[in-house]
Structure 1
Amino acid sequence: MITEIKLGLCNPPEPIYLYVKKGELSGEYYLWYNYDINNKITTPVQQTGLTGYISELKLTTKEFKDKNNIKLDISVRADEIYIVRTGSETNFAKSFLLAVSLVQDFSKPLIIAATAGEGNVVFCNLYDAATKTRIGSEWNKHANWLAIIDSVQTKLQTSKNSHIVSGEPILF
């Protein structure tokens, strides 16, 4: 398959990180944001959904306030490569994992949606992008989160999303 390459100005092929947080900045409320680490600037993202192909789940350790924190990185191929990063113990991560564990076919695009809860809580709703149908799951606070991640990652590796042409394979 030949992919048309757009010439001219573009963004470098680096992933765009979206961080999950219910917040407010200059009167703007948001559920996820970009963070420029070099300039220490938070930029709210007004859209609450991201449509694309989930290509990888990964646990990453990041240091914050002299403490190691385990983050769940959700790699998504869309118009760009996005990585949704959230704390592994957050309601967002857990509601995402419960829903994504029900997905059988990762060759179809999904919508990952951030949804506000009480206080500072953010949940994740997952939708089939073609039908706009929510992939529902029952809350299970005792789920084996690592087993879910392993199971989904196995499905992703067998699916390979080989027909996707919106970027090179994500290598870590």
Structure 2
Amino acid sequence: MITKEFQGKDNIKLEIVVSADELYVIRTSVETNFAKSFLLAASCIQNFDKPLIIAATAGEKNTVFCNLYDAATKTKIKREWSKDIDWASIIHDIQCLLGGTSSTIPPTPKLSVVPQAIHPQDLRVRNIRILLDYPLDLVKEWLRFQGVELPSSLPEENIDELIKMMCLAWASDKCEHPNHAQSTYQKQVIDAVTQGVDELTAVKTWMQQLQISKAGVV
């Protein structure tokens, strides 16, 4: 932890030094939900020599939480939140495990983290969502309705359904008749992908055709 001046006042920051493919530093105020959720999970760890996965998770509005996972088992490390938590003791205990001291501002924790490649299904949904400019919150809501947090937790047919839903939502104001969007999507995207065309390329082509058709009608 370090102290930084902010608006004329001392502001205590939590610094997490991550040893991965390079050296990274995650810095946040100790009062944030990210810092507190990190400290709660870290307080359950007895051996910091084992690789971990650090994941930032969006909450309501601008809130961000931190999740820790065992890199070997992909198991989430969790400790229940309580209003009576002694944060000073948690920080002290973690620092002792990391070989630090018990001073007021202990040395920065260092964690060994395994860089994780993005799962193909997560990447697939992200790329299509960005292409369509589809709201991320709606994707998260759809995933929560399925009982999962990430597309990679679902069967491929469910991802096909999600992508089709996003595409048809984008096309809702591009066609006079909804059936036209669905039929062209079937031919220019689904059938094209079946024949070996890259899905992202197929969706781009389909979008361009609908935009050209709309311009012609106008």
Q: TM (normalized to structure 2)?
A: 0.44
- How far does residue 77 in structure 1 lie from its aligned partner after superposition? 1.0
Match of 1:116 in 2: 58
Structure 1 residue 65, shift from structure 2 partner: 2.5
Q: Between 74-83 and 88-97, report the one with greater CA deviation.
A: 74-83
Determine the C-alpha separation between the residues in 2 that align with 1:146 and 1:74.
Answer: 16
Report SS of the residue matched to 2:40: helix
Inter-partner Cα distance in structure 2 for 1:136 and 1:113: 13
The residue aligned with 2:131 is: none
1:93 match: 35
Moved >6 Å (runs of 4+): none
In structure 2, the partner of 1:140 is: 82
CA distance in 1, matches of 2:12, 2:51: 27
1:141 Cα deviation from its structure 2 partner: 2.8
How far is the alpha carbon of 1:139 from its aligned partner? Answer: 0.7
Q: Could you tell me which amino acid in structure 2 is paired with residue 77 of structure 1?
A: S
What does the per-residue CA deviation read over 1:112-139, in whole Å, with 9 as the maximum and x for residues that have no partner?
Answer: 1111011111111010011111001101
What residue number does 2:48 align with?
106
Structure with greater strand percent: 1
Distance 1:73 1:149 in 2: 12
- State which of 76, 83, 91 in structure 2 corresponds to 1:149: 91
Question: Please, what is the CA RMSD of the aligned residues?
Answer: 1.6
> Equivalents in 2 of 1:132, 1:63: separation in Å?
38
Alignment partner, residue 23 of structure 2: 81
CA distance in 2, matches of 1:97, 1:144: 11
Structure 2: distance between partners of 1:60 and 1:96 = 16
Aligned to 1:53: none
Shift of 1:146: 1.4
* Greater share of residues in helix: 2
For 1:90, give the aligned amino acid: T
Letter in 1 for 2:43: S
**Structure 1 residue 142: Cα displacement:** 2.2
Q: Distance in 1 between matches of 2:60 and 2:84?
A: 21
Equivalences, count: 101
**Structure 1 stretches of 5 or more lacking a match?**
1-58, 159-163, 165-172
